[in-house]
Chain A
Amino acid sequence: MNNKNGTKIAFIAAFVLLCAYYLSFSVRYWLEMRHIDSLDDQTRVTYVADNNARIQDLRERILTLGLDLQGGMHVTLELATPQLMRELAREFADDEFEAVLRTATQISNENNTDVIDEFLREFERTDPEARLSRYFRSDADNITRRSSNAEVVQFLKNQRNAAVDRAIQIVRNRIDRFGVTEPSIVRQGANRIVVELPGVDDEERVRNLLRGTARLEFRLTAEPQELLTSLERIIDFYTVNVETEEGVESQENQLLDVFIPQGRGIVFGSAASTDTAMVNMLLDREEITRLLPRDVELMWTHRAEFVAEDRTEFFSLIGVRRNVELTGEVITEARPAFDPMTNEPQVSMTMNSEGARTWARITGANIGRPVAIVLDGLVYTYPNVITRINDGRSSITGLGGVREAEDLVNILLSGALPAPLDIVEERTVGPTLGQASIDASLRAIIIGLLIVGVFMVLYYRAGGFVADIALVTSIFFILGILAAFGATLTLPGMAGIVLTIGMAVDANVLIFDRIREEQRAGKSLLASIDGGYSNAMSAIMDANVTTFLVAIILYSFGVGPIKGFAVTLMAGIVSSLFSALIITRVIIDYMTRDKSRKVNFG
């Protein structure tokens, strides 16, 4: 018996030391941070510089707090597959391609299926004989005119895969330039990227930084007179004559409810930020686009053109040519600058020689007319060309501030994304709320411990006291296990710890109740203890294995914080079993080491 306990004690000691080792990093990091905080500004800078490597090393091994506790931004990005397909089909795309792709996109949105598969299905439905290879070619991947549809689909999926990898690289570049401590960028599924940015709360900047493809375009603009004619026709299209009850005829116009027509120069009209989605819906119809001048499309301005008294921002639609004269590929240099006249922030760009030649030709041929500089489908500026520009210089104006100029330079220099990234999920927690959550959950843990602890002693007396020791050690083990596996402690994870406090005593409750039963049956104390432990075993095992299974399912389905909950639950089961079965047994054996001693189980 003594020998058996020797093994147990060694086992316990090993477990305790291991957990202490993994938690020591967190404690040391915490002390380090307190020390840094106590220094004055001057010494702090030198201290951090001198100890940087050591601090970094510590930080990598601490028990990380989730974004919901330390504050920060969690963003899920989705690569726009239809846009990538358009890009890949570039030169071969025709109206039919566009029509099929649109239907496929719609179907895949409704049914949550892969747009590439839907595209094939839709394509084969419209024309069973047709071959996808009509639209896609690649020498590198050996996709020719004779490639089968299956081969092309595989090619598209491979391309998407590569595009996501490139997108991750570019997003990482952008975030590195932006400067975030400990960002995490991981792929999720076929076309999603999860970005976690601790401590970041400037959401708008980050959004713009992440999703911009950095697709810069220089385009010519619509003929003002033609644009005006189209505007009149489109308004007519939506005008409906209605007769009121009194028989008075009046006109209603769905479009004009949300849209202010302008028709001055290349400005088509304006709408409040709340209405732009509605305007898009009304204008993005085939009957309407047909009314626009040939080769012209409408694009929103990047910045509000004017702000109403009630602070509503109004954006304008600009008539630009469909044809792209120059793209961002010709840009060799970009830097933030100030407009020498107005002193407003701008981004100055330099083009390579080929770009400069085209730019000179375009500007030369369009003196007095506006050109549009378009970034990611939004018109940033549409200045009038004053003179032919020969040195390949251009600038993006109309920016919100110096920061925006800096971020834009970052985006331009990090490289263009293969296709736009849409933000499909975003969760931001401010640092104050994070701290409040930490405080609240710590309070819950302490109060929970106290209540359960006192209750156990009241009910099981000495036995309850032993169970309390097991309870405290199991919380220590949970933290140790989390630190050892590099898991993140989230708010639901904290809730998991609180819950574990309540459920961890279960094993001991089962054992102690059995011991009481054995005693009632007239057995001696030692025999009762033995019987209690061994008879309760099967129930304890079943109860915990099943809960563990549920935790695994929770882990595999959950994301972010929920995963954290599942992990603490699993760690809690392992820790509390170890504590309740082994640690309590050793303590109780010690308490009953000579037969005269009594242990009261209530």
Chain B
Amino acid sequence: MRLFEDPNFEFIKNRKVGYVISTVLLVLSIGTILFKGLSYGIDFNGGTEFVVEFERDASVADVRSLLTTTLGSQPEVKQFGLSRDLLIRTDVEMEISALQRTVLGALNEAFADNPSVIIKSDVVGPRFAEDLKRGAMMAVIFSLVVIFLYILIRFRNFGYSVGTVGAITHDVIIILGMFTLLNEIMPFSLDIDQTIIAAFLTIVGYSLNDTVVVFDRIRENSLIYKTMGYEEMVNKSINNTLSRTVITSLTTLFVVVVLFIFGGEVLKGFAFALMIGIILGTYSTLYVACPLLVDLKSKGVAVKK
């Protein structure tokens, strides 16, 4: 079977389309983030979260209203995979043991015929959360810097570095925007926590991987087709590697979809981030990284052969 046997799509000529799409997505994302604010999970906000497993299905609304009375403030209650597992998150300032006793006591009293137990609990203090947030931010920024430098050293050229890091930043901002926008709509939590940051860095790695392969080909072709125009040569390189780009993206997308469907509730948000990330990472190689490289060259930014 062969897809894209010797393809010849005009990626570079149509790069304006990509720029428009990306700009729209970026503006939407940044707008959403500024307007709604990033929604952090307890890792970065601090708080208490537990998953309560009932013997039979339980109603989110009933549990929410019951606990609002018991705790004196409304907790966040969401389904956690199975409809008998509920995730309860609260920022009530209470000693954790007392809090758990209060919640379980109230639940088992109100739903006496449907007993419940805590199967998972997470408590993060505000100061610790602050540390985690700082660490995560450092990791994302640091990885972008390292990538910029590696590409600069390996390709000895500013344009490649800007193209790669530009594409990656583009991906991360759009995913952040989508997470913020979709958090309330999706039946699982899309709050930003440590696992999501791990997913982001994986996406960074993936998007990079994808871009580097094309850039590598551009560098190789620039030595072979010395008389060819730069735009044409870049476009040829994209087409040369298109089959690989699509196949690798597909296989990776397959497993991530599998992870999303079968990987269990804990990894839902993580798998979701990767799903969007792989699609975006592939798109941004073709429509952000390479066009940036071409336009930087035509603007006279040092792009050596």
The answer to whether A and B interact is yes
Given contacts A311-B106, A423-B123, A539-B216, contact A498 B259 (CB under 8 A): yes
Q: Give the bracket for the number of chain A residues in contact with chain B.
A: 35 or more
Do the beta carbons of A546 and B102 come within 8 Å of each other? no
Nearest Cβ in chain B — how far from A301, in angstroms?
12
Contact indicator B252/A553 (Cβ below 8 Å): no
Determine which of B94, B118, B244, B267 lies in contact with A430 in the assembled complex, contact meaning CB atoms within 8 Å.
B118
> Which candidate, B11-19, B194-202, B291-299, is the interface stretch facing chain A?
B194-202
A112 to B93, CA, bound (A): 20
- Asked if A549 is an interface residue, CB under 8 A from chain B, the answer is yes
Contacts of B119 in A (CB 8 A): 429-430, 432-433
Chain B residues closer than 8 Å to A112, beta-carbon distance = 127, 130-131, 134
Q: Chain B nearest CB: distance from A171 CB in Å?
A: 18
Most A CB contacts (10 A, CB to CB) among B122, B217, B244 go to B244
Binding site for A on B (CB under 8 A): 1-3, 6, 51, 53, 70-72, 92-102, 105-106, 109, 117-125, 127-128, 130-132, 134-136, 138-139, 142-143, 146-147, 150-151, 154, 194-195, 197-198, 201-202, 204-206, 208-209, 212-213, 215-217, 220, 240-241, 243-244, 247-248, 250-256, 258-259, 262-264, 266-267, 270-271, 274
Q: Which of A55-63, A143-151, A502-510, A584-592 lies on the face that meets chain B?
A: A502-510
User: Given contacts A203-B100, A499-B274, are A424 and B128 in contact (CB under 8 A)?
Assistant: yes
A-B contact pairs, 25 of them (CB 8 A): A112-B134, A274-B70, A311-B105, A311-B106, A423-B125, A424-B125, A426-B122, A429-B119, A432-B53, A433-B120, A447-B258, A455-B250, A495-B270, A495-B271, A499-B255, A502-B251, A502-B255, A503-B206, A505-B248, A506-B251, A543-B212, A546-B208, A549-B147, A553-B142, A557-B139
Contact with A539, one of B95, B198, B213, B256 (Cβ below 8 angstroms) = B213
Compute how far the CA of A429 lies from the CA of B51 in the bound complex, rounded to whole angstroms.
9
Smallest distance from the beta carbon of A108 to chain B beta carbons, Å?
9
Give the complex CA separation of A313 and B97 in angstroms: 12
The smallest beta-carbon distance between B266 and chain A, in angstroms, is 6
| A558 and B98 form a contact (CB under 8 A) | no
- The complex places the Cα of A501 from the Cα of B263 at a distance, in Å, of 14
Task: Report the bound CA distance from A422 to B92 in whole Å.
Answer: 17
What is the CA–CA distance of A426 and B43 in the complex, to the nearest angstrom? Answer: 11
> With the chains together, A553 CA to B147 CA distance in Å?
11
Tell me if A458 counts as interface (CB < 8 A to partner B).
yes
The chain A residue sitting closest to B216, CB to CB, is A539
- Chain A residues with CB under 8 Å of B206's CB are 503, 547
**Whole-angstrom CA separation of A204 from B95 in the bound complex:** 11
Contacts of A505 in B (CB 8 A): 248, 251
A76 vs B125: C-alpha distance when bound (angstroms): 10
A398–B143 Cα gap in the complex (Å)? Answer: 55
A425: chain B residues within 8 A (beta carbon): 123-125, 128
Partner of A498, one of B212, B253, B263: B263
Given contacts A495-B271, A546-B147, A549-B150, contact A423 B263 (CB under 8 A): no
Q: A491 touching B267 by the CB < 8 A rule?
A: yes
B212 touches A441 (CB 8 A): no
- Contact yes or no, B217 A539, CB < 8 A: yes
* Least distance between B172 CB and chain A CB atoms (Å): 12
With the chains together, A474 CA to B204 CA distance in Å? 23
- List, in ascending order, chain A residues with CB within 8 A of B2's CB: 516, 602
Give residues of chain A (476-505) contacting chain B, Cβ–Cβ below 8 Å: 491-492, 495, 498-499, 501-503, 505
Any chain B CB within 8 A of the CB of A452? yes
User: Of the 9-residue stretches A23-31, A237-245, A561-569, which lies at the interface with chain B?
Assistant: A561-569
A530 at the interface (CB under 8 A from B): no
In the complex, which residue of chain B has the Cβ closest to the Cβ of A565? B198
The reply to whether B209 and A427 form a contact with Cβ atoms under 8 Å apart is no
A451 at the interface (CB under 8 A from B): yes
How far is it, in angstroms, between the C-alpha of A476 and the C-alpha of B244 when the chains are bound? 25
Expressed in whole angstroms, the minimum distance between the Cβ of B226 and any Cβ of chain A is 18
B98, B132, B150, B209: the one within 8 Å of A313 (CB): B98
- Chain A residues whose C-beta falls within 8 Å of the C-beta of B139 in the assembled complex: 553-554, 556-558
Contacts of A543 in B (CB 8 A): 208-209, 212-213, 216
Q: Does A448 contact B (CB under 8 A)?
A: yes
| Interface members, chain A 180-218 (any B CB < 8 Å) | 203-204, 207-208
In the complex, chain A residues 379-430 whose Cβ is within 8 Å of any chain B Cβ: 422-430
A559 with B263: in contact, given A424-B125, A452-B251, A513-B243 (CB under 8 Å)? no
Number of A-B contacts (CB under 8 A): 252
Interface centre among B100, B147, B150, B251 (most CB of A within 10 A): B251
Chain B residues whose CB sits within 8 angstroms of the CB of A443 once the complex forms: 262
- Docked pose: A476 CA to B247 CA in angstroms: 24
Contact B251 A456 (CB under 8 A): yes
Q: How far is the CB of A1 from chain B (nearest CB, A)?
A: 26
Q: For window 533-585 of chain A, which residues contact chain B by CB distance below 8 Å?
A: 535, 538-539, 542-547, 549-551, 553-554, 556-559, 561-562, 565-566, 569
Instruction: Tell me how far the C-beta of A81 lies from the nearest C-beta in chain B, rounded to whole angstroms.
Output: 12
A459 within 8 A of B: yes
Tell me whether A517 is interfacial, beta carbon within 8 Å.
yes
Let me know if A447 and B253 touch, CB within 8 A: no
A506-B209, A510-B213, A543-B213 known; A426+B97 contact, CB < 8 A: no
Let me know if B259 and A492 touch, CB within 8 A. no
Q: Which of B102, B124, B150, B208 contacts A273 (CB 8 A)?
A: B102
Tell me the complex Cα distance, A64–B28, Å.
Answer: 44
A236 to B216, CA, bound (A): 78
- How far apart are the CA atoms of A219 and B57 in the complex, in Å? 51
Q: Which residues of B contact A501 (CB under 8 A)?
A: 255
Given contacts A428-B122, A499-B274, A509-B247, 19 further A-B contacts (CB under 8 A): A203-B97, A203-B100, A277-B93, A277-B94, A311-B102, A422-B125, A428-B118, A429-B119, A430-B119, A448-B254, A451-B254, A495-B270, A539-B213, A543-B208, A543-B212, A550-B204, A553-B146, A559-B194, A569-B205
Q: Which residue of A lies closest to B264 (CB)?
A: A440
Q: Point out the residues of chain B lying under 8 angstroms from A549, CB to CB.
A: 143, 146-147, 150
Q: How far is A569 from B206 in the complex, measured between Cα atoms in Å?
A: 12
A444 interface residue, CB < 8 Å from B? yes
Bound Cα distance from A429 to B49, whole angstroms: 12
Is A159 part of the contact surface with B, judged by Cβ < 8 Å?
Answer: no
- Report how far A562 CA is from B201 CA in the complex, Å: 11
Taking a contact as CB atoms under 8 Å apart, the answer to whether A313 and B101 are in contact is yes
Asked if A520 is at the interface (CB within 8 A of a chain B CB), the reply is: yes
Residue of chain B at shortest CB distance from A431:
B119
CB proximity of B194 to chain A, nearest CB, Å: 6
Residue A312 CB within 8 A of the other chain = yes
> How many angstroms between the C-alpha atoms of A207 and B53 in the bound complex?
22
The listed residue (B117, B136, B208, B252) touching A550 by CB distance below 8 A is B208
A204/B100 contact (C-beta < 8 A), A448-B255, A495-B270 known: yes
Contact A498-B201, Cβ < 8 Å, known A425-B124, A430-B118, A491-B266: no
Cβ contacts under 8 Å, B204 to chain A? 550
